[in-house]
Amino acid sequence: MKSYLLISQILYVLSFIPWFVIWGLSFMSFDNGMNAANVSFVLVISLYPIAVIVASILSWVFRVKRKRFAVLINLLPMLWIIVFLSFMLWNNG
């Protein structure tokens, strides 16, 4: 369990490198003006590091008594990655 949490969270930390680039580029969505869709788009991208930190803390807290719950909580930031990759594949296809 410890090795799973360590490896997955190292991968999450490494994902901050492309996230920072994507986060910076996400502000280009305001080029055509400001609306709720643009604000929510930037907000969702900006919440990724918070989700990683909260999920990491909670998964370490629950790893002893509730292992399955700890694994599920640790996979929560993976939603951002899956949605982003599917969005990129959907727009390129």
Q: Above 90 in pLDDT, residue 20?
A: yes
pLDDT of 74 reads: 92
Mean pLDDT of the chain: 90
Q: Above 70 in pLDDT, residue 72?
A: yes
Q: What angle do CA 63, 11, 85 make, to 5 degrees?
A: 115
DSSP conformation class of 47 = T
Q: How confident is the model at residue 51 (pLDDT cuts 50, 70, 90)?
A: very high
What are the boundaries of each domain within the chain?
Answer: 2-92
Q: Above 70 in pLDDT, residue 36?
A: yes
Q: Above 80 in pLDDT, residue 91?
A: no
Contact at 8 Å (CB) between 67 and 1?
Answer: yes
Contact at 8 Å (CB) between 45 and 26?
Answer: yes
